[in-house]
């Protein structure tokens, strides 16, 4: 027990209990209570510390808030009050990046003063109103900015602001809807160019979105994946600009090379249309891998190829048949008939909640062949087959392991 | 350093007059301006020659004046408000045949460098365009997609054919995207000045723009340092079309694209003009990307535009906001000028202009040259 004591922060909380946070490295106090002179009785502790850069101050405030939340939740709760406060602070933490540092500091100080104060205290409600008003302002600011066009696009049309907006939805699809399990993220390099090569399935390109979400969530440097999408999508209204704003680029050799030369992380689906337009009976059988165009690009840019196997995406829109005459009339490359589409109308767009596994394999280096390797047809076809076989093996192994389509193991 | 003799054709037009003004402030140039119209403004040390391009004396002029560099900026776009409407045959004569004449004359004399101005529109907006088209990309624009596009493509292919056959003179052809700025009224500027510029529902391609000063600076840069072949010239940064419109304080008016192309293609000639005013771009240019790679500009020309895309649209938007006032001032100024001309002494200049305005029959009817307006 005494050993446990030394691992705790030495400070007392406002309620008089021992602080339960772990102390910072080598110190006797946790991050919240350091330094000793500025325990929670000091109202402007954070303000005095204001570090120079805003990102630094943000991360510091984030830590402070985390500690504060923990502290509140740790308090003995005679009623549900501290828990409610904890939720409030959790809310603040989640929206942290949209706050100005001064406002954060003020809010933080206010909260720290009022942890033990009563709900009847008008200051508490004033503070709450301030937080809500700030939220509202931040959101109207966003709308104003969108209407005035004063936002930035990267050279490939990526709009970070929009990406931030859809992230919560993507996280929901990733963690809750398809309960994706991603393995092998460590094979994705920290920085620098790399070409992910994945199997394509599921009629709509959700697989690319989930690979991107997974790497954004799990990779230590939260890398952005640039999926290369079919030319067909660039013809579609609404979808074309959306894909572009989310950093997806049309699958053209020129585009892929440019991205890789910019040291981006690019994801390619060599099966292309044959992959997404696969019938349910052919699921997990890799279609033809194009003519090895992706290998040539990897060779030309010296980017390692990383095989990726996606299991579960085949079942989101089980394509029972392809109504070719309708596709021809509409000018679509294929017209899927699934259990829900087109019978249920727009509801047919809702994918089935299968359980997904995304495996990222070991990188296949290409730098040793040099750019001239791209001109060697034998090498290109060898590498193409190697990548294809690797992905097919990974798929089959995972398929054997999994017990059910929807519930997983 | 020996003085460089530069001949600017279309010197009284928009780009010609700007370039002449720009170069006249620098040292080391002997400038000759060539145009059918009289220049609106005289510059010190600049000689203006009123002549027709198809004039066989052009070779003589180039030889006797020992012209080193020719900047050919004549382009009849027929889009400028108040300009006489040219038939497409007349415009072709001026634009394409005129360029042929100039190239032939330059070849026959000692000209070392020819500079031409073109547009990135020639690449054509296609669904499978890579982001950032390189100079060697095929020019896939539909000839009928926009007025004058045929002429631009013809000029491009004429230059290409010429460069394949002859090593001299070096021909630099600068391809600019939409030109914006505080004063220029390019087709993109007119499009953005509408209260609600029409866009295609569900499409929002990336656009590149360039500041009008950078257009002049790029032309001057090539005059100074030389260049050979096509160069894409564009400001740093890309903007979505909707962003361009919103920056100007407008809101886009989305139109379903089958309707837009139907309106553009099926309406009979006369009515088409109305649609052109609203939608100067072919629907494809509002749908697919046609942005260009500027590596050659940076590495070979070593030219850096002064304004980024952001600053350019900023400059244009603030000018747009002030435009109603600027128009009033301009009208006042013109009225004052008119008044002065009637009251002032009868100098030669006044007579020449008055004669032209009255359609004096004794003067050879000049071809109505206009400077290019199209972005």
Per-residue pLDDT of B226-273, as tens digits, reads 999 999 999 999 999 999 999 999 999 898 877 766 766 665 555 555
Number of domains in chain B: 1
In contact, A336 and A355? CB cutoff 8 Å = no
Query: Has residue A399 got a pLDDT over 70?
Result: yes
CATH architecture of A160-316+351-401: 3-Layer(aba) Sandwich (3.40)
Q: Which of A229, A254, A259, A297 to mutate to test the interface with B (most CBs of B within 10 A)?
A: A254
Q: How far is CA B175 from CA B116, B118, B156, B225, in A?
A: 9, 5, 10, 17
Instruction: Give the rounded percent of residues in chain B with a pLDDT score beyond 70.
Output: 82
Higher pLDDT, A182 or A30: A182
Q: Does residue B213 have a pLDDT over 80?
A: yes
Mean predicted lDDT score pLDDT of chain A: 81
Indicate the burial class of A343 (C-beta count within 10 angstroms; 0-12, 13-18, 19 or more).
exposed
Q: Per this entry, what is the length of chain B?
A: 375
Average pLDDT, chain B: 83
pLDDT digits (tens, 9 = 90+) for A256-289: 999 999 999 999 999 888 888 888 888 888 888 8
- Residue ranges of domains in chain A: 2-148, 160-316+351-401
Confidence of residue B351 (pLDDT cuts 50, 70, 90): very low
Confidence of residue B362 (pLDDT cuts 50, 70, 90): very low
Contact A234 B130 (CB under 8 A): no
- Inter-chain residue contact A156 with B246, CB threshold 8 Å: no
Measured in Å, how far apart are chain B's first and last C-alpha atoms?
A: 36
Residue A352 structure tokens: 């089935």
Of residues A405 and A61, more confidence is placed in A405
Q: Cα distance from A151 to chain B (closest Cα, Å)? A: 8
Among the partner residues B128, B134, B245, nearest to A252 by beta-carbon distance: B128
Residue B177 has pLDDT above 90, yes or no: yes
Handedness of CA B344, B345, B351, B355 (dihedral sign): positive
**Are A269 and A228 in contact, with CB atoms under 8 Å apart?**
yes
What confidence score (pLDDT) does residue A254 get? 93
Query: Best of B130, B180, B238, B309 to disrupt the A interface by mutation (most A CBs within 10 Å)?
Result: B130
Q: What is the pLDDT of residue B176?
A: 96
Would you call B202 an interface residue with chain A, using a CB distance cutoff of 8 Å? yes
pLDDT greater than 50 at residue A35? no
**Quick one: pLDDT band at residue A205, thresholds 50, 70, 90?**
confident
Give the one of B127, B201, B251 whose C-beta lies nearest to A235's C-beta. B127
- Evaluate whether A283 touches A262 at the Cβ level (below 8 Å): no
The answer to whether A209 contacts chain B (CB < 8 Å) is no
Which of A235, A240, A249 faces B131 most closely, judged by CB atoms?
A249
Residue pLDDT, tens place only, B285-330: 888 999 999 999 999 999 999 999 999 999 999 999 888 887 788 8
Cβ–Cβ < 8 Å for B67, B32: yes
Helix B98-108 to helix B149-165 angle (10° resolution) is 20
Q: Kindly state whether residue B122 falls inside one of the protein's structural domains.
A: yes
Higher pLDDT, B118 or A343: B118
Complex-level ipTM: 0.80
In the predicted model, is pLDDT for residue A114 greater than 90?
A: no
Per-residue pLDDT, A294: 93
Where does A234-393 show beta strands of DSSP type E?
A: 249-250, 265-268, 305-311, 321-322, 336-337, 357-360
What's the rounded mean pLDDT across residues A134-143? Answer: 84
**CB-based contact B202 A249, cutoff 8 Å:** no
**What is the enclosing helix (H) or strand (E) of A131?**
helix A122-148
Q: For residues B15 and B39, is the Cβ–Cβ distance under 8 A?
A: no
Q: Which chain A residues in 91-130 lie under 8 Å from chain B, judged by CB atoms?
A: none
How confident is the model over A85-110, as pLDDT tens digits? 666 767 777 766 666 667 777 777 76
If one compares B334 and B180, the residue with the highest pLDDT of the two is B180
- Does residue B332 carry a pLDDT above 80? yes
pLDDT digits (tens, 9 = 90+) for A212-253: 999 999 999 999 999 999 888 888 888 899 999 998 999 999
Given this model, what pLDDT does residue B22 score? 94
Tell which A residues from 142 to 171 touch B, by Cβ distance under 8 Å: 146-151, 153, 155-157
Domain around B171: 4-177+209-235+292-347
Closest by Cα among B233, B236, B289, B96 to A152: B236
- Check pLDDT > 90 for residue B32: yes
Give the separation between CA B256 and CA B111, rounded to whole angstroms. Answer: 51
* Per-residue pLDDT tens digits for B58-93: 999 999 999 999 999 988 876 555 566 777 888 888
Q: What is the mean pLDDT of residues B142-165?
A: 89
What six digits make up the tokens of A104?
């954060």
Select the residue from B133, B134, B202 to test the A interface by mutation, using most A Cβ atoms within 10 A.
B202
Classify the C-alpha dihedral A390-A396-A399-A401 as positive or negative: negative
Of B137, B160, B13, B3, nearest to B72 by C-alpha is B13
Helix axes A101-114, A54-74, angle to 10 degrees: 20
CB-based contact (8 Å) between B299 and chain A? Answer: no
- What is the structure's pLDDT at A71? 73
| Best mean pLDDT range from A15-29, A267-281, A291-305 | A291-305
Yes or no, beta carbons of B245 and A149 under 8 Å apart: yes
Residue B372 lies in a domain: no
A241–B240 C-beta distance less than 8 A? yes
Q: How confident is the model at residue A36 (pLDDT cuts 50, 70, 90)?
A: very low
- Among A149, A153, A253, the residue with its CB nearest the CB of B247 is A149
Find the largest Cα–Cα distance for chain B: 62
B34: left (phi over 0), alpha (psi -120 to 50) or beta: beta
Pairwise pLDDT comparison (A146 vs A4), residue with the higher score: A146
Instruction: Determine, for residues B238 and A241 on separate chains, whether the beta-carbon distance falls below 8 Å.
Output: no
Q: Closest approach of chain A CAs to the CA of B373, in angstroms?
A: 26
- Gap between the Cα atoms of A259 and A297, Å rounded: 11
Half-sphere exposure (Cβ direction) of A278: Cα atoms closer than 13 Å? 23
Residue B116 lies in a domain: yes
Taking CA B158 as the corner, what is the angle to CA B155 and CA B161, rounded to the nearest 5 degrees? Answer: 150
Strands (E), chain B: 4-9, 29-35, 46-50, 69-72, 113-119, 170-176, 178-180, 198-200, 206-207, 209-211, 229-232, 239-240, 253-255
Please give the residue of chain A at the shortest CA–CA distance from B311: A150
Percent of chain B predicted with pLDDT > 90:
51
What are the phi and psi torsion angles at B335 (to 5°)? -60, -40
The C-alpha atoms of residue A365 and residue A194 are separated, in whole angstroms, by: 9
Q: How far apart are CA A223 and CA B307, in angstroms?
A: 31
Q: Residue A289 corresponds to which tokens in the numbers above?
A: 């891998």
Shortest alpha-carbon distance between residue B243 and chain A (Å): 4
pLDDT number for residue B373: 42
pLDDT of A38 over the 50 cut? no
Query: Does A155 contact B238 at a Cβ distance shorter than 8 Å?
Result: yes
Q: Do B203 and A237 touch (CB under 8 A)?
A: yes
pLDDT digits (tens, 9 = 90+) for A356-372: 999 999 999 999 999 99
User: What is the predicted pLDDT for the residue at B361?
Assistant: 37
Q: What is the CATH number of the domain that holds B327?
A: 3.40.50.720
Asked if A242 is an interface residue toward chain B (Cβ–Cβ < 8 A), one would say no
Task: Tell me the nearest-neighbour CA distance from A153 into chain B, angstroms.
Answer: 7
Whether B131 sits inside 8 A of A148 (CB atoms) is no
pLDDT score at B151: 92
Q: Percent of chain A scored above 90 by pLDDT?
A: 39
Which residue of A lies nearest to B207 if distances are taken between CA atoms? A157
């Amino acid at each position: 027990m005494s050993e446990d004591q030394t691992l705790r922060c030495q400070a007392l909380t406002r309620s008089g209990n021992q602080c339960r946070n772990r102390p910072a490295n080598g110190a006797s106090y946790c991050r919240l209570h350091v330094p000793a002179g500025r325990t929670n009785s000091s109202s402007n502790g954070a303000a005095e510390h204001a570090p120079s850069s805003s990102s630094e101050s943000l991360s510091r405030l984030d830590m402070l808030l985390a500690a504060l939340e923990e502290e509140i939740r740790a308090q003995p709760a005679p009623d549900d009050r501290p828990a409610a406060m904890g939720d409030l602070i959790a809310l603040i933490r989640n929206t942290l990046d949209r706050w100005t540092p001064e406002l954060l500091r003020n809010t933080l100080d206010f909260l720290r003063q009022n942890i033990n104060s009563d709900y009847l205290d008008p200051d508490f409600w004033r503070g709450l109103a301030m937080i809500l008003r700030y939220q509202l302002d931040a959101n109207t600011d966003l709308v104003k900015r969108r209407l005035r066009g004063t936002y930035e696009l990267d050279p490939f049309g990526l709009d970070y602001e929009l990406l931030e907006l859809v992230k919560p939805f993507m996280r929901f699809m990733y963690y809750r809807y398809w309960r994706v399990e991603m393995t092998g993220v460590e094979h994705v390099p920290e920085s620098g160019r790399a070409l992910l090569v994945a199997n394509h399935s599921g009629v709509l390109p959700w697989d690319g979105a989930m690979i991107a979400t997974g790497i954004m969530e799990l990779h230590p440097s939260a890398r952005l994946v640039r999926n290369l999408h079919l030319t067909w999508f660039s013809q579609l209204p609404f979808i074309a600009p959306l894909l572009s704003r989310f950093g997806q680029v049309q699958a053209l050799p020129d585009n892929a090379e440019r991205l890789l030369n910019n040291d981006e992380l690019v994801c390619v689906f060599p099966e292309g249309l044959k992959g997404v337009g696969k019938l349910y009976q052919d699921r997990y059988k890799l279609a033809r891998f194009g003519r090895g165009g992706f290998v040539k690009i990897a060779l030309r840019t010296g980017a390692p190829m990383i095989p990726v196997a996606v299991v579960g995406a085949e079942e989101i829109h089980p394509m029972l048949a392809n109504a070719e005459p309708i596709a021809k009339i509409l000018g679509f490359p294929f017209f899927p008939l699934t259990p829900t589409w087109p019978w249920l109308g727009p509801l047919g767009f809702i994918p089935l909640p299968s359980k997904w596994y995304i495996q990222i394999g070991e990188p296949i280096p290409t730098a040793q062949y040099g750019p001239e390797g791209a001109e060697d047809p034998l090498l290109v076809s060898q590498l193409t087959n190697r990548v294809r076989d690797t992905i097919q093996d990974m798929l089959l192994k995972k398929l054997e392991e999994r017990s059910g389509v929807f519930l997983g193991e | 350093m020996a003085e460089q003799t530069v001949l600017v054709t279309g010197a009284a037009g928009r780009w010609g007059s700007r370039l002449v003004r720009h170069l006249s402030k620098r040292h080391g140039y002997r400038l000759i301006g060539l145009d059918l119209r009289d220049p609106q403004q005289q510059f010190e040390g600049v000689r203006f020659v009123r002549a027709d391009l198809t004039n066989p004396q052009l070779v003589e002029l180039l030889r006797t004046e020992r012209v080193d560099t020719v900047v050919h900026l004549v382009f009849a776009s027929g889009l400028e408000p108040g300009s006489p409407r040219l038939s497409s045959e007349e415009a072709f004569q001026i634009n394409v045949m005129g360029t042929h004449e100039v190239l032939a004359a330059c070849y026959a004399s000692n000209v070392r460098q020819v500079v031409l101005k073109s547009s990135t529109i020639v690449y054509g907006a296609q669904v499978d365009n890579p982001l950032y088209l390189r100079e060697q990309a095929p020019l896939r624009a539909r000839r009928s997609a926009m007025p004058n596009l045929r002429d631009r493509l013809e000029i491009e292919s004429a230059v290409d054919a010429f460069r394949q056959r002859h090593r001299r003179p070096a021909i630099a052809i600068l391809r600019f995207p939409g030109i914006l700025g505080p004063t220029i009224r390019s087709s993109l500027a007119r499009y953005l000045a509408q209260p609600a510029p029409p866009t295609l529902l569900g499409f929002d391609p990336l656009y590149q723009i360039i500041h009008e000063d950078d257009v002049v600076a790029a032309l001057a840069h090539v005059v100074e340092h030389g260049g050979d072949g096509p160069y894409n010239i564009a400001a740093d940064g890309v903007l979505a079309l909707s962003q361009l419109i919103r920056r100007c304080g407008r809101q886009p008016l989305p139109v379903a694209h089958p309707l837009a192309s139907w309106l553009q293609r099926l309406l009979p000639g006369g009515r088409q003009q109305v649609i052109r005013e609203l939608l100067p771009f072919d629907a494809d240019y509002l749908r697919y990307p046609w942005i260009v790679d500027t590596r050659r500009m940076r590495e070979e020309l070593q030219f850096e535009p002064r304004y980024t895309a952001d600053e350019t649209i900023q400059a244009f938007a603030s000018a747009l906001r002030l435009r109603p006032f600027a128009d009033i001032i301009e009208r006042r100024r013109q009225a004052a000028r008119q008044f002065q001309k009637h009251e002032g002494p009868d100098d030669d200049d006044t007579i020449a202009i008055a004669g032209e305005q009255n359609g004096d029959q004794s003067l050879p009817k000049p071809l109505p040259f206009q400077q290019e307006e199209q972005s």
